[in-house]
Amino acid sequence: MMTVARNDLTPRRRVEIALHGGHSDRVPFTMYENKVPQCAAERELRNRGMCIVNRQAPVVRVHRPNVTVRSETFANNGRQLCRTFYETKLGTVSTLNEPAGFTTWRHETMFKSPGDYKVLRFIVDDEQYEPCYDQFLKAQEAFGEDVILRASFGLEPLQSLISGNMIDMERFAMEWMDRRDEILALYEVIVRKRRELYPMVAQSPAGQANYGGNVVPAMIGREVFEQHYVPHYNEAADVMHQHGKIIGCHYDDNCRLLADLIGATDLDYIEAFTPAPDTDMTLSQARQAWPDKVLWINFPSSVHLQPDDEVQRTAFDLLEETGSMDGLIMGVTEDVPEHRWQDSCRAIMDGLDEHARRRPERYR
């Protein structure tokens, strides 16, 4: 693994080094762009080395030339709701969402009845892709060295039918039992369209891309994961690796059930892994299960509510668990309570700095 001296290291460069399996003068600390408001405290954290992970600069544009999309916003019992219609020659489907500050509540997905399958297949098949690399490069230049841009392939084909905007999780489970042939027919269309994206993302200026995530192992199970997830990770990874790029997945749930299967994939990094006490695996267990993968973890969300000294101690102790500092990034990928994010993030960085100071031999 490579080790890089501390001279002229920027927040982004520290993350890039870790993503390629190395380490520098400290473990990088990252936050999603929508988890930290732009303010004095955010500026302070970036001055200390925090790197913002921005996922909003696309490398590919998506068009649906034969789908008309229109939205209607209305009030209901004091709440603002938005219904979006997707009109095709085979019929119309709609979603119902409620904007809620930093997130959106999904009240209805596109799928309402079996007759909607043909419409959903049409909508997916109608997608056309074109590179927008110039937009990505302009964003990268504008944000500078304390932001890293990350591309995406979207959700895994089957996962897009579970946590996407087409079918909700409960309805998917029923359709999987009652009309699996319809689910798999739609899945195959998504697989084919994802394959169009692989070379476009791999040839883009982005150095890394996520493929899916938010997998719930207790729902998916080992057989479905091995049949309908693993092959797509490996296929996309093969294309990415041909172009010198890396690929990862957002695993933030209990991972023990799938740990060996995840470890056998060609994914380069495991992003958003959340160690115990919030899941069923410790960081040291994750290192043992995935020795050849970079761990880009999510700091345990429950700990944000603890006093600052406990937050700092947890950050320090997590690094103590891992042994080597190679291929390790501390991140925040979930929402932090508004009254806690500033002090908690400062404390996390204090813990990382303390570890670099007290364990200098691990960073040589």
Q: What one-letter code names the amino acid at 91? A: G
pLDDT the model gives residue 300: 97
Instruction: Assess contact for 40 and 59: CB atoms under 8 A.
Output: no
pLDDT at 7: 55
The confidence score (pLDDT) of residue 126 equals: 98
Please state the φ and ψ torsions of residue 234, each to the nearest 5 degrees. -70, -40
- If we measure between CA atoms, which residue out of 209, 319, 220 comes closest to residue 268? 209
**Residues 120, 163: Cα–Cα separation, whole Å:** 15
The whole-number pLDDT of residue 8 equals 73
pTM: 0.94
Distance CA 255, CA 287 (A): 13
Class of domain 11-62+130-363: alpha beta
> What integer pLDDT is reported at residue 6 of this predicted model?
53
Question: In this structure, are strands 269-273 and 29-32 parallel, antiparallel, or unpaired?
Answer: unpaired
**Domain coordinates of the chain in residue numbers?**
11-62+130-363, 65-126
Interatomic CA distance for residues 304 and 346, integer angstroms: 11
| Helix ranges (DSSP H) in 23-162 | 40-47, 117-125, 133-143
Q: What distance in Å separates the CA atoms of residue 130 and residue 60, rounded to the nearest whole number? A: 6
Query: What is the reported pLDDT for 26?
Result: 95
d(CA 220, CA 162): 10
* Distance in angstroms (rounded) separating the CA atoms of residues 359 and 364: 10
Peptide bond into 58 cis (omega under 30): no
**Sequential pLDDT tens for the chain (364 residues):** 555 445 579 999 999 999 999 999 999 999 999 999 999 999 999 999 999 999 999 999 999 999 999 999 999 888 999 999 999 999 999 999 998 876 789 999 999 999 999 999 999 999 999 999 999 999 999 999 999 999 999 999 999 999 999 999 999 999 999 999 999 999 999 999 999 999 999 999 999 999 999 999 999 999 999 999 999 999 999 999 999 999 999 999 999 999 999 999 999 999 999 999 999 999 999 999 999 999 999 999 999 999 999 999 999 999 999 989 999 999 999 999 999 999 999 999 999 999 999 999 999 8
